[in-house]
Structure 1
């Protein structure tokens, strides 16, 4: 995020960085849609018996509890967890390999919301009749759209996600700052004030996720969207080589250059950043809702329990824009017991299961009513800013060749953050690359 805007701003920023320095600181794809996904009639979902769920590493520790609840009442249709790596890119790759082999090893896929177009177009997942999902209309509409391709449903949203700003409320209060920053400049000013506190020794100003993986695509998109830019416009055409996009990318580039974002953050994925925040190394941290429960643990694993607050992401002139995250459960086209798989998906997407999950993990639900549940809003004060984050979120490019598109974004952003390529050249090259990948 842009931490210098003029000579005066640059001077102030270097002062912030110096203060902290002295203190010691969610593969190629197929074709463009010709391989299917646009059929008018949904196939019959038949077959009953045991199934599997392919899902990324469960850092919450609660997923098996959810599966146990299903298994207890379905002794002949039990679900087995096939746990994939923590890294989203690796998860997607394993799911694609399974599909290309036409293997029935995975019945239900826990898919990042941006994978729908690719998996549906390649007929790796099965269309789901909307009338077979009784609670679909009770989910946040934006989450339902993530599960559609060519207006057909290919998944059911089980969790949503919006980026949040975690911040050390205790240190801001001690520095005389009453509210969380709404802009990048306000965040820098807060860093400068807090850096003068003895308690800030060893802290850095800010970090998100900057390793070359899907999290970097998210952080890149949020920086650009929060500066008024886009990666792909409303007509589906690449439009990333703009002054607005450059301003957003420069927020991140200048953050690394001046030291407000620590050098170590170039290796951060979600968990590395979470641990840094919980260890008291960051004043501000961009991450997903799941961090809330873990950072508030009182078992000694978090040094910031009870000391932090949650706010919307900051932007250029006001609150920023989150990338829409979350996971949809889809049925593999090669699964044997598709009827059981659909029943299991409806079970996991139900209000009861989503409420049970948020109570244990703080993960964002897709069920709209839970954001206004009095008991939950009391337990999780972040629900109000999270709801605003999700409602105002922008999707990452919804394209069939998503794997190639996100790889191009990550390469351009990573080279810019590492000062290998100037931001304007990185964006110009990315625009050319995206034009070759995204066709109408």
Structure 2
């Protein structure tokens, strides 16, 4: 999930009201019919021009793939509609389109954490899903006509497109946070391996910053601005400490020592280890900061790998960095599960074309090309073990393990309100407006009604 600038963030692993398997299937509003056109998979009809609504495509690869589709489908042309970088803004524009029942948007590129909200509100069409056993082996996401075969995809990604056991979105890209680090500076400081704990990371920073090459570099950065990225940072920090924002029972779980330890890590890191402008840096701002050579360590999504290695002069760190699993308090940390899924608007015309286009973009060939062009994480499992891909992207084994063990953000039908509450309280804590304990208590109180069954 890289979270997104191109086309990042997230995760249906059953931890919040209405989305978790442990909760009652009748807890949320609506009935079992699914999509707003009467439910089920009926209504996937109509052929002709469609739109594809997504975040910004900085690589140019998406447009290349769309151009190839358009060349082969002169009567079913796709027009790309690019939304702003910030996921909150993307979500709001998609919701505005849905609430007006506009047919302007056909295929939606959704952050994985939006599935429950969009499906529960009947803004998406349910998609026909083939059995997950005995699939295509990665050659195509469609094993039989009219049904989407997900068996070649990583199981963690498949869950993100489901709501109440039904499929509403097809995994297109996945994501999990990784630790980018200046391998050249660590070597010069006599450090042979990347840190596995926070303390090892701080100790490495202290050594690097004593070098002439590292004296002007900041130690660490993870996003702590008041956006969706704050929710991601909070999930990773609190989970790494052994806590959770939402417990297994679907209720807020912020009144714990583990939650406090996780938040205090962010507070202390912001105060003593991050750039002064940390609260103003978004995902792209963090990427540019790292590429300028001003950071020793950075928590970031896979999409940055290709951009930071560009040899066109845009990156001061090309060939000088590596990636590793995120560190934690006492050992390896926990990454947040991000990524994007493709869904069909319930109000779109030409839904049959939309489904075919989704199959095209999520197929193994398209995902391979996208990985090569953007370094975004694929959802096809075999690509992580492809020797050619691993040679070009050495981080793939690390990323695959991170995705398989990643922690999702809270998944809720009222996700917008849930993430806004998390962002606000976490921001107040890291900027010193509230003590960590008070911020957690206030968040506990806010999340109670929002996650009530």
Query: Fold conserved (TM > 0.5)?
Result: yes
Q: Is the 8 A contact 2:172 2:362 kept in 1?
A: yes
CA distance in 2, matches of 1:235, 1:75: 51
The residue number in structure 2 matching 1:205 is 219
| Partner Cα separation in structure 2 for residue 307 and residue 348 of structure 1 | 33
Q: Secondary structure at the match of 1:341?
A: helix
| Residue of structure 2 in register with 1:11 after alignment | none
For 1:50, the equivalent position in structure 2 comes to 49
| C-alpha spacing 1:318/1:133, structure 2 compared with 1 (3 Å) | farther
**Contact 2:129 / 2:149 at 8 angstroms: preserved in 1?**
no
Contact 1:60–1:290 (CA under 8 A) maintained in structure 2: no
Separation in 1 of the partners of 2:148 and 2:171? 13
CA offset digits 1:305-340 (Å, max 9, x no partner)? 000000011111111111100000000000001000
Task: Give the CA deviation at 1:38.
Answer: 4.8
Question: Per-residue deviation at 1:60?
Answer: 2.8
The offset of 1:122, in angstroms, is 0.4
2:127: which partner in 1?
128
Q: Which residue of 2 aligns with 1:33?
A: 28
The TM-score with structure 1 as length reference comes to 0.91
User: Which of 165, 173, 185 is the aligned partner of 1:151?
Assistant: 165
Q: Distance in 1 between matches of 2:209 and 2:358?
A: 48
2:288 aligns with one of 269, 275, 279: 275
- The alpha-carbon distance between structure 1 residues 267 and 38, as it changes in their structure 2 partners (threshold 3 A), is farther
Identify the match of residue 365 of structure 1 among 378, 398, 412.
378
* Map of 2:356 onto structure 1: 343
SS of equivalent residue, structure 1 residue 286: strand
Moved over 2 A (4+): 30-33, 35-44, 131-135
Structure 1 or 2: larger helix share? 1
Q: Once the 2 structures are TM-superposed, how far is the Cα of residue 62 of structure 1 from its aligned partner? A: 1.8
Q: Once the 2 structures are TM-superposed, how far is the Cα of residue 398 of structure 1 from its aligned partner?
A: 1.1
Contact 1:37 1:120 in 2 (8 A): no
Matched, 1:434 2:447: yes
1:43 Cα deviation (Å)? 2.2
Asked if structure 2 preserves the Cα contact closer than 8 Å seen for 1:166 and 1:286, the reply is yes
Paired with 2:31 and 2:87, the residues of 1 have a C-alpha distance of 25
Show the counterpart of 1:15. Answer: none
- Cα deviation, 1:213-257, whole Å, max 9, x if unaligned, reads 111110111011111111112232211221101101111101122
Give runs of aligned pairs for residues 95-174 of structure 1, distance below 5 A: 95-131=94-130, 132-174=146-188
How far apart are the structure 1 equivalents of 2:385 and 2:43? 36
Would you say the 8 A contact 1:37–1:121 is kept in 2? Answer: no
Deviations 1:45-104 (A, max 9, x none): 100001001101123332111211211211111110010000000000000000001000
Q: Which residue of 2 aligns with 1:185?
A: 199
Q: 1:37 to 1:62 in 2, by over 3 A?
A: farther
Residues 403-414 of structure 1 mapped to structure 2, 5 A cutoff: 403-414=416-427
What's the secondary structure of 1:53's corresponding residue?
A: strand
Structure 1 alignment gaps of length 5 or more: 1-25
Q: Considering only aligned residues, what root-mean-square deviation do their CA atoms show, in Å?
A: 1.4
Distance in 1, Cα, partners of 2:345 & 2:391: 38
Alpha-carbon contact 1:135-1:350 (below 8 Å) kept: no
Partners in 2 of 1:78 and 1:272 — Cα distance? 34
CA distance in 2, matches of 1:34, 1:317: 42
Deviation per residue, 1:270-297 (Å, 9 max, x gap): 1000000000010001110000000000
Aligned residue for 1:225? 239
User: In 2, distance between residues paired with 1:203 and 1:35?
Assistant: 53
Q: Structure 2 length as normaliser, TM-score? A: 0.89
My pick for the range that moved more, 327-336 or 69-78, is 69-78
